[in-house]
């Protein structure tokens, strides 16, 4: 694994050049460039805010909009990281057939691009939060959130790597992931507060849902200004470690065979 | 010092009837799965290539020539035996592979050069030379998806040879460029070889092999049929194809192949 990481480091120029290319292509495709990537979540959130603030927001848009924006940024990263990341090996087949680079590099290409994209959305969410709360609570708590962002990055990279390998063998992996993500989106308190599940007596589902735990770790401190508990951090650290372990295991198991299936 | 050493290397892989299945199909049919076909691409190969060797690899289609190159490059891991390759490798395989179609020629030079281990600083010194060698001029500002096969080959070859690799692995790509570029490419290959590096070249064009190589391996069914000086092995191969009575006229066969 150390070997793997040093090899990725050795080819960092290659990786970063491709990430830059991906972002350039992504933003060039729309007339508004980067603006579009900002406009889209803002438009979505405006619609959500208008409609759902009545339902879930307790008619308090100043609390609900930050909650929604940060939540969508975090969820967007986890979702797109996995769904797009699973294409990493298939999509980079040309490089794989040409040079023996570590496979983690290709998923990292997707995840890094996605992280920058979601980072922009996150930054906007943060700015809106400050504007809504009329103080700098949200900025002051960032020290407690930063490690959680690193963990989210590592977890998304690992999960994407696992599915990228599976995708080489099963061509409907991406489709199934999209379906799965849709289901998880509704099961996770992203647009609605967790109390909605508690009221229905299914709050335990939120406790078992890794996506929700990442939201609690990143979003909740920003909106409330309270640092997360050590217990929560340990749980998420455990989940991330397990997913890294699974990814390393999958790569070790399949890396010598996967090239014959591409 | 560069070195290539293969000890009893075998490479076997399974191919399924269908390349990729859906998970649904797999779950439904998985219980009654048809057996997959095992392909023995390389069988107990022993090979020792030293500094200064310019090795041509010939043989019928499907003899394992390309698989051998990919295994040497580290892309296909051997299923048995040991592969020792020391030295920086540059491989020219499928020329259209490994380009970003949406990016222009300049950007693709950058990506490929980084892929071959260059850093931004070292590339800066070389990039003009690479661009010049391609002779693509204004086309370098155009996305490479508009390039012809010959233009892609020019680009790929120019980048690959600019990094001065110790080991070059080439899979019959030279034939794609126009005549002028082929001459130029051969001249550059000779240049590279003169500084005592290794070349492994797969080609069906014997005039190239005769011009470039001082040793030829004739492969058959994933193993080495014959290994020796260029003329000896090529003549033997040509005789086996055309029959022993005919005196082979190599040029004619080369163009036919």
State which residue of chain A sits closest to B38, comparing Cα positions: A260
Query: CB A234: neighbour CB atoms within 10 A?
Result: 10
- H helix intervals, B31-134: 65-73, 105-115, 120-134
CB-CB neighbours of A48 under 10 Å: 21
Confidence of residue B175 (pLDDT cuts 50, 70, 90): low
Is the per-residue pLDDT at B88 higher than 50?
A: yes
| Of the partner residues A99, A176, A259, the one whose CB lies closest to the CB of residue B115 | A99
pLDDT at A221: 94
CB contact A39 to B (< 8 Å): no
> Which range marks the domain in which residue A91 is found?
2-260
Task: Report the residue from A17, A97, A176 with minimal CB separation from B114.
Answer: A17
Taking the CA of residue B77 and the nearest CA in chain A, the distance in Å comes to 6
Q: What is the rounded average pLDDT of the residues B42-47?
A: 90
Q: Name, in order, each residue with C-beta under 8 angstroms of A250's C-beta and a sequence gap of 6 or more.
A: A161, A162, A165
Q: Cα torsion at A155, A255, B117, A28 (round to 10°)? A: -50
Residue pairs between chains A and B whose CB atoms are closer than 8 Å:
80
Query: What are the pLDDT digits (tens) for B3-16?
Result: 889 999 998 887 76
The answer to whether A7 contacts chain B (CB < 8 Å) is no
- Report the distance separating Cα B195 and Cα B70, nearest Å: 24
- Shortest alpha-carbon distance between residue A203 and chain B (Å): 32
Q: What is the CATH number of the domain that holds B210?
A: 3.40.50.300
Helix (H) / strand (E) containing B137: none
Query: How would residue A142 be classed by pLDDT, with cut points 50, 70 and 90?
Result: very high
Interface of A with B in 191-250 (CB under 8 A): none
Task: Say which range, A40-44, A188-192, B218-222, has the weakest mean pLDDT.
Answer: A40-44
Residue found by looking up tokens 């680009």 in the block: B155
Could you tell me what percent of chain B has a pLDDT over 70? Answer: 85
- A94: chain B residues, CB-CB within 8 Å: 97-99
- Please report the residues numbered 150 through 189 in chain A whose beta carbons come closer than 8 angstroms to any beta carbon of chain B: 168-173, 176
A209: tokens are: 């849902």
Does the beta carbon of B171 lie under 8 angstroms from any beta carbon of chain A?
Answer: no
What is the rounded distance in angstroms from the CA atom of residue B217 to the CA atom of residue B199?
A: 12
User: Do the bridges between strand B167-171 and strand B80-86 make them parallel or antiparallel, or are there none, so unpaired?
Assistant: unpaired
Dihedral pair phi/psi, residue A193, rounded to 5°: -75, 155
| Tokens 């690193």, residue located | A150
Q: How many structural domains are present in chain A?
A: 1
More confident residue, A42 or A67: A67
Q: Do B75 and A18 touch (CB under 8 A)?
A: no
The residue with greater pLDDT, A40 or B55, is: B55
Contact: A10, B14; criterion CB under 8 Å: no
Q: Which residues of A touch B15 (CB under 8 A)?
A: 260
In chain A, residues with a C-beta closer than 8 Å to the C-beta of B70 are 97
Tell whether A3 lies on the interface with B, counting CB pairs under 8 A: no
Q: Which residues of B touch A11 (CB under 8 A)?
A: 114-115, 117
Q: Which residue has the higher pLDDT, B23 or B58?
A: B58
CB atoms A100 and B73 under 8 Å: yes
Whether B94 and A170 lie within 8 Å, measured CB to CB: no
| CB proximity A134 to B under 8 Å | no
Q: Which residues of A touch B102 (CB under 8 A)?
A: 21, 25
Q: What is the pLDDT of residues B26-43, one digit of tens each?
A: 777 765 566 677 888 889
Which whole number is the average pLDDT over A242-254?
94
Cβ of B114 within 8 Å of Cβ of A97? The answer is no
Averaged pLDDT for residues B49-64:
88
| Residue B179 burial (CB count, 10 A) | 7
Looking at residue B22, its pLDDT comes to 78
- Does position B178 have pLDDT exceeding 50, yes or no? yes
**From residue A247, how far is each of A164, A252, A260, B39 by CA, in Å?**
10, 8, 20, 29
Query: According to the model, what pLDDT value does residue B37 have?
Result: 77
> pLDDT at residue A54 above 90?
no
Kindly state the percentage of chain A with pLDDT values over 70.
Answer: 96
CA distance A160 to A181: 13
Chain B neighbors of A170, CB-CB under 8 A: 20-23, 26
User: What is the domain extent for residue B207?
Assistant: 3-256
Q: Does the CB of B75 have a partner CB in chain A at under 8 Å?
A: yes
| Residue B135 forms contact with A (CB below 8 Å) | no
pLDDT of residue B257: 37
Structure token pair of residue A49: 């805010």
- Scanning the structure block, which residue is given the tokens 């087949």? A93
Q: How far is CA B25 from CA A166, A169, A243, B16, B20, in A?
A: 15, 12, 27, 14, 10
pLDDT in the model for residue B38 = 81
Higher pLDDT, A184 or A94: A184
**Phi, psi for B248 (deg, rounded to 5):** -75, 135
pLDDT at A160 over 50: yes
Bridge partners of B201, per DSSP, are B56, B170
- Say how far residue B35 (Cα) sits from the centre of its chain: 32
pLDDT confidence bin for A243, thresholds 50/70/90? very high
Side-chain half-sphere exposure of B109, counting CA atoms within 13 A:
31
Distance from CA of B4 to the nearest CA of A (A): 16
**How far does A206 lie from chain B, in Å, by closest CA?**
28
Residue of A nearest to B79 (CA): A256
Give the pLDDT band (50/70/90) at residue B198.
Answer: confident
Q: Tell me the pLDDT band of B255, cut-offs 50, 70 and 90.
A: very low
Query: If you compute the radius of gyration of chain A from its CA atoms, what whole number of angstroms results?
Result: 19
Smallest Cα distance from B19 to chain A, Å:
7
Q: What is the mean pLDDT of residues A159-182?
A: 93
B24-34 burial, b for 16+ CB within 10 Å, e for fewer? eeeeeeeeeee
B226 touches chain A (CB under 8 A): no
Number of domains in chain B: 1
**In the prediction, which pLDDT does A29 show?**
63
| Residue B203 tokens, joined | 């080609």
* Mean pLDDT taken over chain A: 89
The half-sphere exposure of A179 on its side-chain side, counting CA atoms within 13 A, is: 5
By the 8 A CB rule, do B1 and B87 touch?
yes
Element (H, E) at B223: strand B223-228
Q: Kindly tell me if the per-residue pLDDT of A244 is higher than 60.
A: yes
In percent, the amount of chain B with pLDDT more than 90 equals 12
Q: What is the mean pLDDT of residues B168-189?
A: 77
pLDDT at residue B205, rounded to an integer: 82
Asked which of A168-172, A188-192, B15-19 is least confident by mean pLDDT, the reply is: B15-19
- Determine the average pLDDT of the residues in A162-180: 92
Predicted pLDDT of residue B87: 84
pLDDT at B256: 40
pLDDT for B106 beyond 90: yes
Stated as kind and residue range, the H or E segment containing A211 is helix A210-224
Q: What is the pLDDT of residue A99?
A: 82
- Tell whether B229 is within 8 A of chain A (Cβ): no
Report yes or no: B147 and B158 within 8 Å, Cβ to Cβ: no
> Do A168 and B20 count as a contact with CB atoms less than 8 A apart?
yes
pLDDT tops 70 at residue B173: no
Measure CA of the first residue to CA of the last residue in chain B; give whole Å. Answer: 36
pLDDT digits (tens, 9 = 90+) for A104-113: 999 999 999 9
How confident is residue B163, by pLDDT bands cut at 50, 70 and 90? Answer: confident
Q: Give the C-alpha distances (Å, rounded to integers) separating A191 from A66, A111, B61.
A: 11, 24, 60
B44/A contact by beta carbon, under 8 A: no
End-to-end CA distance of chain A: 23
């Amino acid at each position: 694994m150390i070997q793997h990481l040093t090899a990725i480091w050795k080819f960092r120029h290659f990786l970063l050049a491709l990430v830059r290319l991906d972002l350039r292509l992504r933003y060039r495709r729309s007339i508004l460039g980067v603006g579009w990537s900002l406009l889209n979540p803002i438009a979505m959130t405006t619609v959500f805010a208008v409609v759902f603030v009545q339902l879930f927001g307790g008619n308090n848009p100043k609390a609900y909009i930050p909650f929604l924006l940060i939540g969508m940024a975090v969820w967007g990263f986890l979702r797109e990281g996995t769904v797009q990341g699973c294409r990493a090996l298939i999509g980079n087949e040309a490089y794989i057939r040409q040079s023996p680079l570590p496979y983690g590099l290709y998923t990292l290409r997707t995840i890094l691009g996605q992280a920058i994209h979601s980072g922009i959305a996150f930054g906007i969410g943060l700015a809106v939060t400050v504007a809504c709360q009329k103080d700098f609570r949200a900025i002051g708590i960032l020290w407690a959130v930063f490690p959680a962002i690193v963990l989210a990055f590592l977890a998304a990279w690992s999960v994407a790597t696992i599915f990228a390998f599976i995708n080489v063998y099963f061509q409907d992996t991406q489709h199934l992931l999209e379906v799965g993500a849709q289901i998880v989106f509704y099961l996770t308190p992203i647009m609605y507060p967790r109390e909605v599940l508690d009221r229905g007596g299914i709050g335990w589902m939120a406790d078992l849902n890794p996506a929700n735990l990442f939201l609690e770790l990143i979003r909740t401190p920003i909106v409330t200004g309270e640092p997360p508990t050590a217990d929560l951090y340990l749980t998420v650290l455990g989940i991330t470690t397990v997913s890294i372990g699974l990814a390393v295991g999958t790569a070790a198991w399949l890396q010598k065979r996967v090239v014959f299936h591409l | 010092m560069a070195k290539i050493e293969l000890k009893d290397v075998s490479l076997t892989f399974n191919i399924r009837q269908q390349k990729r299945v859906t998970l649904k199909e797999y779950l439904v049919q998985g219980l009654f799965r048809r057996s997959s076909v095992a392909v023995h691409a390389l069988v107990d190969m022993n090979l020792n290539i030293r500094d200064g060797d310019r090795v041509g690899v010939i043989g019928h289609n499907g003899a394992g020539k390309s698989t051998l190159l990919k295994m040497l490059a580290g892309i296909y891991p051997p299923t048995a035996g040991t592969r020792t390759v020391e030295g920086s490798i540059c491989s020219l395989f499928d020329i259209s592979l490994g380009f970003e179609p949406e990016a222009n020629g300049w950007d693709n030079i950058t990506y490929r050069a980084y892929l071959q281990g260059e850093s931004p600083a070292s590339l800066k010194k070389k990039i003009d030379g690479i661009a010049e060698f391609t002779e693509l001029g204004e086309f370098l500002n155009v996305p490479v998806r508009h390039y012809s096969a010959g233009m892609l080959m020019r680009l790929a070859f120019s980048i690959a040879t600019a990094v001065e690799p110790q080991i070059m692995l080439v899979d019959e790509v030279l034939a794609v460029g126009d005549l002028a570029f082929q001459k130029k490419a051969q001249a550059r290959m000779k240049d590279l070889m003169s500084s005592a590096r290794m070349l492994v070249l797969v080609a069906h064009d014997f005039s190239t092999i005769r011009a470039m190589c001082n040793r030829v391996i004739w492969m058959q069914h994933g193993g080495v049929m014959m290994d020796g000086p260029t003329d000896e092995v090529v003549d033997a191969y040509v005789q086996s194809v055309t029959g022993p009575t005919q005196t082979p006229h190599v040029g004619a066969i080369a163009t036919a192949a």
